[in-house]
Amino acid sequence: MNLEFTFKDVFRAARPSSKRIWVAFEGIFIATIIYAVFSYLTFLTGGWAIKRIWQEFRFLPMPLGHHFPWYSWLIWIIGLLGVFYIYAVTTTAIAKIQFEQLRGDEFYETREAWR
């Protein structure tokens, strides 16, 4: 695909592709798992039982509005930073795939984009 460096390139860039959608899904899935693990650790170090956490929140517990010791909040903040890092890496991988597709390489591998 040849870039014209005009407004037409914007419409070409916005086309969805299954490869980019799959990379976004992987990133969101990994970030959700990381958030769930660190949120559960936050509640566990705050003195909650796993059964109580599951009954009240199910899969994604939200510690806002509850009183925890400082180290529980630190665990939760580390989890949030991990989620933001995964989101940043995911959006970078999506941008790399898009860039290579605009250059004409439709067979650019997702493994290369994650590096």
Q: Are the C-beta atoms of 111 and 93 separated by less than 8 Å?
A: no
pTM recorded for the entire structure: 0.78
Query: Is the four-CA dihedral 48, 49, 50, 56 of positive or negative sign?
Result: negative
> Which residue reads 């994604």 in tokens?
60
| Structure tokens that stand for 2 in this block | 């040849």
- Domain assignment present for 6: no
Each residue's pLDDT tens digit, 4-38: 777 777 776 667 778 888 889 999 999 999 999 99
- Domain assignment present for 108: yes
> What is the C-alpha R_g of the chain?
20
Q: What's the pLDDT score for residue 74? A: 94
- Domain assignment present for 93: yes
Q: What's the pLDDT score for residue 1? A: 58
- Domain assignment present for 8: no
- Domain assignment present for 61: yes
Q: Are the C-beta atoms of 73 and 42 separated by less than 8 Å?
A: yes
Query: Domain residues for 31?
Result: 16-114
Each residue's pLDDT tens digit, 57-115: 888 887 777 788 899 899 999 999 999 999 999 999 988 888 777 777 667 666 666 67
List the end-to-end C-alpha distance of the chain, in Å, as a whole number: 24
Statement: residue 49 has pLDDT above 80: yes
Q: How far apart are CA 37 and CA 32, in angstroms?
A: 9
**Average pLDDT, integer, range 28-55:** 92
